[in-house]
Amino acid sequence: MSDDDALLAVVKADCPTCVMATPALQRLAAQGASLLSQDDPHFPEGIAHVTDDTDLVLSARWGIEVVPTLLRVSDGVEVDRVEGWDRARWVEVSGIDGLGAGLPDRRPGCGSLTLDPSRADELLVRARSDELIGRRITLTALEDDADAYEARGWSDGLPVVPPTEARVLRMLECTDRTPGDVVAIVPPDLTPATVEKVAINAVLAGCRPEYLPVVLTAVEAACTDAFNMHGLLATTWFAGPMVVVSGPIARDISMNDGLGALGQGNRANATIGRALNLVVRNIGGGRPGGVDRATLGNPGKYTFCFAETPAPDPDWPNQATETGLAPDTSAVTLVAAEGVTGIIDQLSRTPESLARSFAEVLATVAHPKLAFIFDASLVISPEHLRVFREAGWNKARLRGELSKLLTLDGADLVRGARDIAEGMPEGFCGGTLPKFREGGLSIFQAGGGAGMFSAVIGGWAAGDLGSTPVTLPIHTPEEATT
């Protein structure tokens, strides 16, 4: 009887329950059942033919997790299964009366060798490597991984994780998109980035597989005309992409929105932003000294990614909700960003005073005498947020107050005013000017619960002149089944 017909029993000699069940296995074989042994083709004894499955190909095909397992199949399709020893169920599945008479009623089985961690990568690659279409590169035994990847230009200057077939396949398990699907056309070389190529760079960056949906969305957002990744690379300004993750997925993958959210120490924060930059570098060709022309750059061009704290109430929606997405939507917001400027205000106990502190620092973005040319982001910490909430202010009111406070006198901004040559052309300065264009100030919520500190993050040229923040919902595989 073949493994595609009737009955199939999977066992291993190193399993006491399988050894105990030998009389039942012998009777099954006499009735024409097929037996597969994972570790010894001579087990069970007394059976003329046992299929050697020490390579675990058939066990992997049938998804065996416990031995012994008895399967009933019809036309190659499984119709019933029992794992471990359960005499009544073995009789039911096999249809053989009295099978296992004299044996215990029940006994738990052992773990299948397909679950052995030392075999997992081998089995995965053997079963699914044909799904991968990328070119394989084999390093010589004398090559150091980190040095070899740096020499080939795949690194951002820090060591990267070798993108083995097994690691890439595990990464791809966290998306329902096929490896060859094109995610985006990546500037500056306008190269198609497939799901597989993005997964490879996510591995290089050190991502866990569950981060991949966020990385894919960040790549899509970066390659929109509105965000203008090509322009952000080509500018001599400091800025690079900042990834802000909102919604349930941030907690699901353990991102940091609290203490040190803008800093080091969290794998998801660190590697998601890095993966995006590696995609731009390795797929799109955006490298420092080439199209990337930043005069100074900033450390955020390695990675700049954090999670937004869940909205405390509807009056303080997160950035994704402000753009029109449902409050429980997981989303990525991509913003052009330079370095972080801290705001210290430990004395303001009224929202009016604290808003003025915020405005004073925001007015310095790019240069105190430049208006509506650059965007910016404001990251409000919990202690500062409490000042506004306790006074009954909502996010919309804070925006309105900041807009008023950041409406600047053109006479102070004109070139030469205050003995500073830099400034706005005289033709713009006949009245007042807004520091930021409409929609040019993004407001996020993050940070630890202690410390009356918030942050301003300068951006880049605004709107059609440069970059516009882009928010996209994150698609996860679970959504396809709901």
The domains of the chain are located at 6-115, 146-481
Q: What are the Cα distances from residue 180, in Å, to 85, 128, 193, 294? A: 43, 14, 9, 33
The answer as to CATH 3.40.30.10 being correct for domain 6-115 is yes
Give me the pLDDT at residue 444, please: 97
331-337/240-246 β-pairing: antiparallel
What is Dmax (Cα atoms) for the chain?
A: 102
User: What are the two backbone dihedrals, phi and then psi, of residue 186, each rounded to the nearest 5 degrees?
Assistant: -95, 125
407-409/374-380 β-pairing: unpaired
HSE-up of 419 (CA within 13 Å, CB side)?
0
The closest of 277, 276, 285, 283 to 194, measured between CA atoms, is 283
Instruction: Compute the distance between CA of residue 310 and CA of residue 387 in angstroms, rounded to an integer.
Output: 18
Give me the pLDDT at residue 165, please: 94
Give me the pLDDT at residue 120, please: 85
Give me the pLDDT at residue 1, please: 42
DSSP E strands, 191-257: 191-194, 240-246
- Collect the ranges in the chain with pLDDT lower than 70: 1-5, 478-482
**Tokens 């595609």 map to which residue?**
4
Residues 6+ apart with CB under 8 A from 467: 226, 227, 228, 231, 232, 239, 335, 336, 375, 459, 460, 461
DSSP E strands, 166-269: 182-186, 191-194, 240-246
Q: Is the dihedral of CA 144, 150, 154, 158 positive or negative?
A: positive
Which 3 state secondary structure label does DSSP give 6? Answer: strand
Instruction: Check if the beta carbon of residue 377 is closer than 8 Å to that of residue 441.
Output: yes
Give me the pLDDT at residue 479, please: 62
Q: Is the dihedral of CA 346, 348, 354, 359 positive or negative?
A: negative
Instruction: Check if the beta carbon of residue 199 is closer than 8 Å to that of residue 179.
Output: yes
